[in-house]
Amino acid sequence: MATADWNPLGDVYLRKTELYSMGWADIVDLNKFVAVASCQYGGPIALLRDDAQTARVQVSTKPVITTYTAAGYQIGQMRWNSGQIVKMGWTVTEDLLCVQDDGVVLVYDFFLNFKRTFGLGQEAKDVKVIDCQIFNSFQGTGIAILTSTFRIFIINSVDDPRIRRLAEVPGLQTEPSSWTIINLDRQSRALVAKGKELYLIDHGGQFQYQSPQISAEVNEYVMMSVSYSNKYLAMFTDSGVIWIGSSDLQKCYCEFNTKSPQCPQQLAWCGSGAVVAMWDKIMLVVGPDKDWIKFQFDSPVHLTQEDDGLRIIQNYQHEFLHKVPDVTEKIFKIGSMEPGAMLYEANREFMKGSQKADEYVRMIKDKLDVAVDQCIQASGHELEPTKQKQLLRAASFGKCFLTDYNPQAFVDMCQMLRVLNQVRNHAIGIPLTYTQLEKLTTTVLIDRLVLRKFFAYAIKISQYLKIPEAEGSSRILAHWACYKVKQKNQDDEVIARAIAQKLGDTPGVSYSEVANEALECGREELAIRLLDYEPRAAHQVPLLMKMHKDQIALSKAIESGDTDLVYTVLLRLKESMTQGDFLMSIRSMPISYSLFLQYCRQQNPKLLEDLYYQEDNFIEEGNCKVMRSFDDERLDDRTETLNQAIKCYQKGRHDFVIKQTEDQIKLLKYQKRLEEEFNRPYMDLSLHQTIYRLTVENNFKVSEQLRKEFKVPDRRYWWIKIQALAEAGEWVELDKFSRNKKPPVGMEAFVEVCAKHHNVNEAMKYMSRVSPEQKVRCLVKVGNKKAAADTAFENRNEEELNFVLSKCGHSDRQLVEGIKTMKQQLGSKR
């Protein structure tokens, strides 16, 4: 019968289901261990054995910590060589926390490999820790400690251990009779019992006296337990009464007298609907309406609270106590007429070949969709695959009679159950329920499989659930590769080839990250081999430099074509090597050497000049000296530097550059003389700029002399003087200059500079002397498009008419029409 293992507790039923026959049976006796810590969500179990505390005679052996899966199979073991352990517990990421009496917390992974450590403050170290609570907070996993001075310190996250001291309990001179941590409204507070007085304290320095509704006589609250959701609280009094109420102590649901003067060894919650008290081998379950159930065990028991139930760990069995879900109760409760129950019976009769199946279906014809949903939901809450199949078959049977039913819920449940059944297997040992998986999420489940080194299972599940590669198989393969490089019993080449074959070109997997993991493990050669498979040089080079493989890094950077990357390596080499060795190492690589020269040109010209001197590159050495001459402030220093440049050019037999440099020296001396004569700046101007400025300043004779001295071509000189006179507004002088002799630049140059300075009248003076082929363009430049069109028409030149037409805008519509008429007339005359 489906209800054979149901136990009534008031209006609800509790069911105790066996999860595993423990793999440690006949090996582990929980009585011999001083501490047991079990991780929630079907996580691992840690046992601490200390023969010095349990043996009848004095022994000097060190304590031993052993970790097991939830199925009782050993994962790791280590001998404890540190301080006195006050508390062991697990984080939400399945790291083992060991809190010592000096306030030091040591963090170990699933396999008892040391990860890190942190302290809980100087006071904890000085006065010692006498009690500790490890709890789930809104930030992750938190730790609260009670010192021998009866002060409580708290951290809300072991990943970011910020220590806060809670307010002191008034008049507390002895150890509290009990205390616990309550998380409400994103704040962690401690509820402390000082005998029969209760105080709620926080890190803001505030304390609140609490007076819960309780009719029984209380001298002390000796034990407390907060539900998984932090909404409910249970307290055990010295008179044997269990008080059950809200965690804010404003409501009391019941007071149950256990009639036991002895304090229970454990007090826990089964979900949020029942409180469980454990005495040696007797377990008492109490409901909020004073209903109770008593269970007897043959061996010691450890209780672990879950969101939807309670895990019971024994020497030989691992069981799960939980409330029978409402939907399961509706289907299997004796005499139930719910649609799900009728559909389940209909399917059973159908499997027998009985006609009763049709009668059951007809009874729920209008609620068949509800019946299907109930069967699907109930299958998720079953731990036995046989019952899951029966319920899913019933749901599938019901779907056959529905035409518009969306099967997605059925498909999703089948997928989730396949995953759950797989991870519940003894070999993996994660006894998750469907409710727990919904809160944990499949992504975290895959992370937990990776943590246990079940890489193949993790990949198959992610592929089965069609999780994107970046979040699924690619990420898992990266973890596998990082684990693979830690296997020191295999050759580097074998591991590198195995990783490359497995990863291939998998998107989202970086060989550089795997190589970095190998480097962290001290396997430098393996890291170099793995980097050969990394396609991105930007990821290869930094790690090669980290390994001081600078020459390989430089070669990779050059092959990538990324100049920024090459510069990064070059600067690193420059800092780590002597200058001589550095230059010798990069000269054999032309690309890197040329890039370094470019760097020197920008950042270190003196070094660049020295390099050219060493190479007998006289022309470039001379160029460097010319550039350096501009930094000299005194004329004598500048001419001396330029003379040195001339010597370099002479060695390089470059006559043209020699002549240019000599002219530069002559110009500098000339400019110096001009500055002294006119008291105006001329230094560092070019020859053309000097002539231009002299002309603008009406020093026509000096500019003419400078032209003759440096043999400036006539055409170039005329252009400079025309532009300078126009800028100076010397229109009369410009007109004289145009009549001086036949200009080598044409009259259109005069028209252009006049138009440029918006002097149309002056421009028109030169229009009659402009050559016929340039006249139209000049008229357009001065803005006289009408005259330009007439001139083009007189010249019978359609190309010039098109030019004028292209320069017309929206305001020239009349002219545009006129030009079109002219073009038609020219066409007709042909």
Q: What is the mean pLDDT of residues 34-58?
A: 83
pLDDT digit string, tens, across residues 766-780: 787 877 788 888 887
The percentage of the chain sitting over the pLDDT mark of 90, rounded to a whole number, equals: 40
Bigger pLDDT: 543 vs 431? 431
**310: pLDDT confidence band, cut at 50, 70 and 90?**
very high
pLDDT digit string, tens, across residues 122-166: 999 999 999 999 999 888 999 999 999 999 999 999 999 999 999
Both tokens assigned to 284: 């008492």
Q: How far apart are CA 464 and CA 442, in angstroms?
A: 12
Phi first, then psi, for residue 138 (nearest 5°) are -70, -10
**603: pLDDT confidence band, cut at 50, 70 and 90?**
low
Bigger pLDDT: 712 vs 22? 22
Spatial contact of 96 and 140, defined as CB atoms under 8 Å apart: no
Report in angstroms the alpha-carbon separations of 237 from 147, 243, 263, 318, 464: 23, 8, 8, 30, 52
Q: What is the mean pLDDT of the chain?
A: 85
pTM: 0.72
Rounded to a whole number of angstroms, the CA Rg of the chain reads 46
The percentage of the chain sitting over the pLDDT mark of 70, rounded to a whole number, equals: 93
pLDDT digit string, tens, across residues 394-410: 999 999 888 888 999 99
Is the predicted pLDDT of residue 812 greater than 80, yes or no? no
Is the predicted pLDDT of residue 57 greater than 60, yes or no? no
Among the ranges given (288-292, 374-378, 682-686), the one the predictor scored with the smallest mean pLDDT? 682-686
Among the ranges given (80-94, 210-224, 598-612, 637-651), the one the predictor scored with the smallest mean pLDDT? 598-612
Nearest Cα neighbor of 231 from 176, 321, 145, 307 is: 307
Q: How far apart are CA 279 and CA 294, in angstroms?
A: 11
Residue type, 270: C
Could you tell me where the beta strands, DSSP code E, fall in 22-174? 35-38, 45-49, 64-68, 74-79, 85-90, 96-100, 104-108, 114-119, 129-137, 140-147, 152-155, 164-165
pLDDT digit string, tens, across residues 656-679: 877 777 777 777 787 788 877 888
